[in-house]
Amino acid sequence: MEKDNVCINCSNQIDKVAKILKLGEAELDILTIPKRILTFSFPVKLDSGEIRYFTGYRVQFNDARGPTKGGIRFHPEVNLEEIKTLAFLMTLKCAVVNLPYGGAKGGVMIEPKRFSANELERISRGYIREINNFIGPDVDIPAPDVNTDSKIMAWMLDEYEKLKGRHIPAAITGKPIALSGSKGREYSTSMGGAYVLNEMADSFGMNPKKTSVAVQGFGNVGMNIARILHEWGYKVIAVSDSHGGIFNQKGFGIKDVIGHKNKTGRLSKFKGAKEISNEELLELKADVLVPAALEDQITKKNAGKIKAKLILEMANRPITPEADEILLKKNIKVIPDILANAGGVVVSYFEWVQNSQNYYWSESLVLERLKIYMAHAVKELSRTCTDFKCDMRESLYVDAIKKVLEAERLRGNLR
């Protein structure tokens, strides 16, 4: 197998699990070599009339448990190795929360802020034209990710349906409700993380009303989990966006912060707040730290300065493997991303089910069923931690990898 096809980051992340489960070469190949990698360029006419080519990716990592599932991101730092790693994590995430899915991920190397709405629409449609023969409700179901949203999913679905000549709402999730989206989907990732934190609060000796929280990232996920935790009685003492953060030891009224951000476009100059950097927020003395921005925010350079008792990974892969080791030695507990932020894919699954049945649920029913899925995953995590005597990340990896390999074995792809 060509080395370029191997997910190097995946190999690094499963080293410990490989020893625990005594994995053989064929099993490691399944866990480090994606099933399908699409790399392509496509032309888009800009508003100026200029033709520009964009680089796109779609990686379908493993489909033993069902059609692959994963978001599409628009970001200037998108690259193939990152997409492979995130597709691998999606494979594990779907297994952790017991969804009948494999994992995928996609992206376009682009700074979306530099393009008009019309240009973004043409880029979105161009991307779907390139991958349309490799996706579908029973093959691979895209969804929103970093810098993409329900509007972009609507454009992508429309382009896909035009290419196929019929309505296929289950082909893409994270759509607007008017185009067969699911109620609750917009904040489902955050709600899932909040359910997980609440389920585990007792085991960490945390009383929500006496628990301080710092949230890095104030996009959809960070903003909504700050709002939800504040409504549940947690004291949110700091939040930040790409421009910087604000801090108040007494806590914030998050609805007021959201109003200020919507009005001014920034968190800075919020009344009664001290302005801090993203780096300073990560190092605050808080009971719970919630990284909800991008990857690799806590590294070996700053892990030793982290003072939180517990980290809830709402971003994908916000802690590097080297930093993980440092946090473990400092006895800082980490609730890993493949559980903490799995609420989004759970409700994406609900959307897919509703689309397939053409029968739609109330918001309260969506949230009730989301809570059941997240609570069940937490119980499985607790059992695996006890059985294998390892930390939460290792336990989740063990649990997910066992499920994926069992599916492969039942299909006859492993002995």
SS3 for 219-281 is CHHHHHHHHHHHHCCCEEEEEEECCEEEECCCCCCHHHHHHHHHHHCCCCCCCCCEEECHHHH
Pairing of strands 36-45, 244-247: unpaired
Cβ atoms of 282 and 259 closer than 8 Å: no
CA-CA distance, 404 to 89, in Å (whole number)?
12
Q: How far is CA 260 from CA 11, 213, 265, 272, in A?
A: 44, 20, 8, 12
**From 69, 84, 105, 183, active-site residue:** 105
CA-CA distance, 146 to 107, in Å (whole number)?
9
CA-CA distance, 323 to 11, in Å (whole number)?
17
Cβ atoms of 94 and 101 closer than 8 Å: yes
CA-CA distance, 221 to 343, in Å (whole number)?
11
Active site residue 271: no
- Please identify every residue annotated as catalytic: 105
